[in-house]
């Protein structure tokens, strides 16, 4: 699979794709409140932030209106629609970029698709009521993520007998459910769900097993940006995790480049893109293009 049709736009999977994170929430763990103040200036702030990420090299912008940080409370569908749909509409009208919508709600999936979204990114892997049918109706690509429990409780006592085997089995089951609902396999991407109902040891085991998860023969989305695993390993706060985030993104790209297309979901787009360009130049036989 070298191309993925995302609504009106195509996503090239020949190289790792960088997905910039744009949360329009008041309470996301890293950027909550930056692009959300619940007033008429929100959309302009969100578009400016997305435009900066596109200029820095993001291929996709992932818009989320419900925080899924550990301990987060769910929001109503009406709240999520009010936060997400106007931003998706503005982004697709003003920027040449694929807009992904980070949602588990059927109504938000449909409304976002109608306003130009090109991908659905669901942390609950289409398990909410109506989500499978809604995603199928949009005909958009869908990213299925593994999460143990729900955001409000997922980090209380996560437990697995074999985290790699269990996450892989879950993703296979959700792929089968999607295919049974009419979502073609070539429209699916997978996300092991780093930090979603996992301890540091679980996260490290999954990261080391990325090539094994690639045996499912679908593109993998890796989202480790600024997450607690970096904080635990480096003993640093959320706003000090950019270096660790870039290093892990690059390691994920290296681990997957011969076995599966990869998408890297990040906050720090510019630094991630620069790291990928250096890595690609070093491993390429071609002369690098020098920009003055």
Length of the chain in terms of residues written: 292
Cα 222 to chain centroid distance, Å, stands at 7
Report in angstroms the alpha-carbon separations of 140 from 49, 60, 113, 182. Answer: 24, 14, 8, 12
Catalytic residue check, 265 = yes
Exactly one of 174, 198, 265, 270 is catalytic; name it: 265
Own/partner pairs, 50-57, CB within 8 angstroms, 24+ separation: 50/20, 50/22, 50/91, 50/95, 50/97, 51/94, 51/95, 53/20, 53/22, 53/269, 54/20, 54/95, 54/96, 54/97, 56/20, 56/269, 56/270, 56/273, 57/18, 57/269, 57/270, 57/273
Query: Please, how many CA atoms are within 13 Å of residue 94, restricted to the half-sphere of its CB?
Result: 17
Question: Mind giving me the DSSP string for 45-98?
Answer: HHHHHHHHHHHTT-SEEEEESS--STTPPP--HHHHHHHHHHHHHHHHHH-SSE
Exactly one of 174, 227, 241, 270 is catalytic; name it: 227
Residues involved in catalysis: 227, 265
């Amino acid at each position: 699979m070298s191309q993925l049709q995302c609504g009106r736009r195509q996503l090239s999977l020949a190289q790792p794709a960088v997905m910039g994170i744009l949360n329009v929430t008041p309470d996301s763990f890293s950027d909550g409140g930056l692009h959300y103040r619940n007033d008429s200036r929100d959309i302009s702030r969100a578009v400016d932030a997305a435009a900066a990420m596109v200029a820095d090299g993001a291929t996709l912008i992932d818009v989320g209106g419900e925080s899924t940080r550990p301990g987060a409370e769910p929001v109503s569908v009406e709240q999520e629609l009010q936060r997400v749909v106007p931003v998706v509409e503005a982004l697709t009208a003003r920027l040449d970029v694929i807009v992904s919508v980070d949602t588990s709600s059927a109504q938000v999936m449909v409304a976002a698709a109608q306003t130009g979204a090109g991908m659905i990114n669901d942390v609950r892997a289409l398990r909410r009521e109506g989500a499978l049918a809604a995603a199928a109706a949009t005909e958009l690509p869908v990213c299925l993520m593994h999460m143990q429990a729900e955001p409000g409780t997922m980090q209380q006592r996560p437990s697995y007998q074999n985290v790699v085997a269990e996450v892989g089995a879950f993703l296979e089951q959700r792929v089968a459910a999607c295919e049974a609902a009419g979502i073609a396999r070539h429209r699916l991407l997978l996300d092991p769900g780093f930090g979603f109902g996992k301890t540091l040891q679980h996260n490290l085991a999954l990261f080391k097993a990325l090539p094994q998860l690639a045996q499912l023969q679908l593109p993998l989305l890796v989202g480790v940006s600024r997450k607690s695993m970096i904080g635990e390993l480096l003993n640093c706060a959320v706003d000090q995790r950019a270096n660790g985030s870039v290093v892990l993104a690059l390691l994920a790209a290296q681990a997957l480049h011969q076995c599966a297309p990869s998408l890297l979901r990040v906050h720090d787009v510019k630094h991630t893109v620069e790291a990928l360009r250096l890595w690609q130049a070093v491993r390429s036989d071609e002369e690098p293009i020098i920009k003055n």
